[in-house]
Amino acid sequence: MYFENIDLDKLILRCYPDPVLRQPARPLTPDEISKNLIHLSERMIELMVKSAGIGLAAPQIGLPIRLIVVSVTGKIDDAFALINPELSNFQGVSEMEEGCLSVPGVHGKVKRSQVCQAKGLDLDGNELVIEAADLSATVLQHETDHLNATLFIDRLSTLGRFAARKGIKALENDYASQKRI
């Protein structure tokens, strides 16, 4: 339970191309579902809302564990956490403009399933099943992608990648310059 000794106030959003974003997240064990995980998810929700996001995955704050938080409205009161999410029952196709707190300034249209089901655990360790459609389905797919080391920019069309290339290159250059300090 390596995340128990983390100073929650020092957690920050990790930005592309930080290697933690390309590291598959590991499932949480029943023993790891504790008050510390509740505090971690509360901190993640605060960061998400403060950053004007509607979803956040633990790898985006440097923790490669299978935990996401979501608030489609962007409000703390509507937020929930999902541990070890697994998606299924995909239906239809939707194309929405996406952005990402870990890829700031870059946006693009991404095709995803219009409907999906998410199964996981809540913060009490109880099974949670979510039937999602439209924006909710997109957010769950986007955040679960983070747990699998996939970013929305990986799902852009060739034209979308071309349009996003300057923003992606700027993030790469910024990251490289910070590493030299």
Given this model, what pLDDT does residue 181 score?
A: 47
What mean pLDDT comes out for the span 3-16? 84
16: confidence class by pLDDT, cuts 50, 70, 90: very high
How far apart, in whole angstroms, are the C-alpha atoms of residue 41 and residue 137?
Answer: 20
- Residue ranges in 29-102 assigned as alpha helix (H): 35-50
pLDDT at 85 over 90: yes
Please write the tens of the pLDDT for every residue from 105-157. 999 999 999 999 999 999 999 999 999 999 999 999 999 999 999 999 999 99
Report the alpha-carbon angle 31-32-35, nearest 5: 110
Regarding beta strands 94-98 and 55-57, do their DSSP bridges make them parallel or antiparallel, or are they unpaired? unpaired
Q: Which of 46, 131, 143, 172 is catalytic?
A: 143
Is the Cβ–Cβ distance between 2 and 160 less than 8 Å? Answer: no
Q: Average pLDDT for residues 159-178, to the nearest whole number?
A: 95
Count of Cβ atoms closer than 10 Å to residue 158 Cβ: 7
Q: Kindly state the average pLDDT of the residues 44-69.
A: 97
Question: What whole-number percentage of the chain has pLDDT above 90?
Answer: 89
CB-CB contact of 143 with 99 (8 Å) = no
- What's residue 9's pLDDT? 82
Residue 5 — very low, low, confident or very high, per pLDDT cuts 50/70/90? confident
Q: The pTM is what?
A: 0.95
- What is the residue extent of each domain of the chain? 2-179
The 3-class SS string of 92-119 reads CCEEEEECCCCCCCCCEEEEECCEEEEE
User: Which of 119, 125, 98 has the alpha carbon at shortest distance from 41?
Assistant: 125
Please list the alpha-helical segments (H only) found in the chain: 35-50, 135-147, 158-179
> Measured between alpha carbons, how far is 116 from 138 in angstroms, rounded to an integer?
9
Give me the CATH topology for the region 2-179.
Peptide Deformylase (3.90.45)
The answer for residues whose C-beta is within 8 angstroms of residue 111's C-beta and 6 or more apart is 93, 94, 95, 155
Q: What is the pLDDT of residues 69-79, one digit of tens each?
A: 999 999 999 99
99 pLDDT band (50/70/90 cuts)?
very high
Burial 102-137 (b: 16+ CB within 10 A, else e): bbbebbbebebbbbbbbebbebeeeebebebeeebb
Q: Is 95 a catalytic residue?
A: no
